[in-house]
Structure 1
């Protein structure tokens, strides 16, 4: 490997206020994501919403990709009407990240989906979402305090990439009211909560890429195992792209 692998992280697209006077639409990301990638040895770059036609060009330049958390996906993407508790969609972000995800999978760019990012992976694969989990699981344990992260136990599925990186049940930081409904074709559930909620998805190793999504927020805790797995695979990709051609 030559140099740090370049890890792109998608951003929120929302209104923000700062400095006591400014109120503007922004592309932004909590600092925890940057620190999460940097602590694992990655070189982080922000990927705000852009023209979906440019997703391939962006993916070509990346060694790895993180699909960040954020706003609810548009239910129309998986053929449903909005639930009363589903927030207004952000179409420019949905279009951009779906194109970026497709481009990364096509090129074998290692990727990690976080919360919304995992849900995006499932919808892209043809799966659906449960638009309001409390109605299904009968409790608010996945999002007990709006605006704050809580912890609950997840158990990885043996034989998966997720279990390879996190072999034992552990507590994770959670803040989500939606979850996986039908798992998209080609994906496998690789971790569950105690109530049966799918907490991680991935494409099997046989697909030829590292593509893991988790419903929790690993960037909010000190556990770097997932992002180290991503950065390691991104470093291998960078090493291959930097290697001279045979006979060169």
Structure 2
């Protein structure tokens, strides 16, 4: 990559669906000064040409990868600002437009797991910046030997629930001294939630950088100079929040620095 070239960031997703997430992530990368290319099991691209990688959200990680059998496989109201409501409505409309493509045909996606684990190992080996979003954070953890909770309902006691919303309905505490706290510039962050699973045991070299009050892990990172971040929420759906967009800015900056 020459000094004048915008870094190329690979963004993973499913073969069918995921268009809203792809478009919002590509927009965030473009705003940060990078170029995005979509990677799927059918179009894996050339990892050597990538300057950075985003492992996106989607179907659950197959528990086979952390030595478990699948569980048999439920939303919340809160005050939101007019801006949050407007952005949330627009993104929800986008997702609805693509809904016929986004319906999952299976609980797990083994070909996607295979591609993304290969890309994660490539990024770690080559020292390329790596950002995991929701499922992506979970898969980074699993690839490094960690495990997941297949359901997090037990974390929510009577009178509370796990909201599933693209609006920022949760508050997470950011670990002192963490890269994530430095990027977001605060002790706490309001985030959205579209997940029903979370990280349980940490993978090798990973530390917790964000948690809910009830203990659910919301952010992980790897110590050292390489940028390796995973967040349980979806920053691509929060374009109205500058701190959330710093995650993509930092990814592009780190890719350019290589």
Q: TM-score range by the shorter chain?
A: 0.7 to 0.9
- 1:78 maps to which of 66, 73, 90: 66
2:209 maps to: 190
- Runs (4+) off by over 2 Å: 27-30, 135-145
Gaps of 5+ in 1: 17-26, 238-248
1:227 aligns with 2:248: yes
Q: 1:19-74, CA deviations, whole angstroms, 9 ceiling, x for partnerless residues?
A: xxxxxxxx7453211111111111111111159xx78xx23211111000000010
* Distance of 2:42 and 2:228 partners within structure 1: 22
Q: Report the aligned-residue RMSD.
A: 2.1
TM-score normalised over the length of structure 2: 0.78
- 1:214 maps to which of 221, 228, 231: 231
CA 170–150 in structure 1, closer or farther in 2 if over 3 Å, else same? closer
Residues 129, 228 of structure 2: 8 Å contact kept: yes
1:157 maps to: 175
Residues 187, 203 of structure 1: 8 Å contact kept: yes
SS, match of residue 190 in structure 2: strand
CA 137–62 in structure 1, closer or farther in 2 if over 3 Å, else same? same
* Distance of 2:161 and 2:256 partners within structure 1: 37
Gaps of 5+ in 2: 74-105
SS, match of residue 15 in structure 2: strand
CA 96–194 in structure 1, closer or farther in 2 if over 3 Å, else same? same
Q: Quote how far apart the aligned CAs of 1:196 are.
A: 1.3
SS, match of residue 13 in structure 1: coil
* Distance of 1:173 and 1:34 partners within structure 2: 19
TM-score normalised over the length of structure 1: 0.81
Count matched residues: 218
Structure with a larger share of its residues in strand: 1
Residues 154, 171 of structure 1: 8 Å contact kept: yes
